[in-house]
Structure 1
């Protein structure tokens, strides 16, 4: 009986070691530094030429990240059915560490799934559209919302219609603290920026 217990404990320890190895192997790839070579996936323009937070998505099937001129565009990529779904990592500019809105930084990234987003603020993203402004720190996000309007929420809470094409009604309901589900499911101009 004692041998069986010892064997079971040994097998359990091996299983846990395997789980830990698997978690290490599945760690997301690190973010890439934003350079002049980064071209926006939707706009086809140099990402550094735009103000506000940026985004990058790393796919399992690609070596280079897919770049976005706004954090909102990076979120939209995850929602659009025609885009690849082999996402290894989603990073957005950490505006808690940004020097200013015009130049949010080239290396200050936060995992989008762990970020706090301010939705419905007065600030516009890289292509002049409404932005989901990301922060690594909830307090910094709350301070930004107090100064610029909007509501703080997690990645999974950002309303699909806000990202894919908010109407004026959607934006105002987000600012008022409602979920913000408007009637528009498509972007205003027919595509995401």
Structure 2
């Protein structure tokens, strides 16, 4: 009888030890490496071919399945990530460090953790979907870009849906202003 209790105790101790070890392994697991953008990759949000367009791109890798979602612009990545069903998930996110690569054709060797990046919102540079968020590894690089191209520097955690709509609304208003000026000029010449 004592031998049975000892076996039970050893089995329980082994189970606890294995559980503790497996928990440490999960905590020690490193985040996945970024995945290169291939010529036929399509944006998870809009379906456009990603490599056909300039500006920084983004990607999200799900924690458990390691499923990769690729985006033609940082704006599309944020539009997807800020959806209620994705906002609190622990995805690994990557964006291009635009201080390390060319705007027209970003190099995948310059992919950085999006949560550690600084973004310029509202600049005059456009990406796949028009206005985009220029991404940088350092705040200094983001400020340098902002000084040259306008906009506002924000951390990942500060970006909201309103920021994603800022550039589009400004472009639409700019176009409306130009149309109004042309109509006024045409009316003036008619008189």
TM over 0.5: yes
Q: Which residue does 1:142 correspond to in 2?
A: 143
Alignment length (residue pairs): 154
Picking from 106, 109, 114, the partner of 1:107 is: 109
Deviations 1:28-52 (A, max 9, x none): 2111111124211122122111110
Indicate conservation of the 8 Å contact 1:32/1:107, yes or no: no
Structure 2: tracts of 5 or more residues without a match: 1-19, 174-191
Tell me which protein shows more helix as a share of its residues.
2
1:160 to partner: Cα distance: 2.1
Indicate how the Cα distance of structure 1 residues 79 and 95 shifts in structure 2: closer, same or farther if over 3 A, else same: same
Structure 1: tracts of 5 or more residues without a match: 1-16, 173-193
Pairing of 1:122-161 with structure 2 (within 5 A): 122-128=124-130, 130-161=131-162
Q: Give yes or no for the alignment of 1:94 onto 2:103.
A: no
Indicate how the Cα distance of structure 1 residues 33 and 143 shifts in structure 2: closer, same or farther if over 3 A, else same: same
Q: Which residue does 2:17 correspond to in 1?
A: none
Q: Which residue does 1:30 correspond to in 2?
A: 33
Q: Give yes or no for the alignment of 1:56 onto 2:59.
A: yes
User: 1:147 & 1:165 partners in 2: Cα distance?
Assistant: 19
SS of the equivalent of 1:29 reads coil
TM-score (normalizing by structure 2): 0.69
TM-score (normalizing by structure 1): 0.68
Larger radius of gyration: 2
SS of the equivalent of 1:67 reads strand
CA-atom RMSD in angstroms: 3.0
User: 1:167 & 1:48 partners in 2: Cα distance?
Assistant: 22
Indicate how the Cα distance of structure 1 residues 166 and 148 shifts in structure 2: closer, same or farther if over 3 A, else same: closer
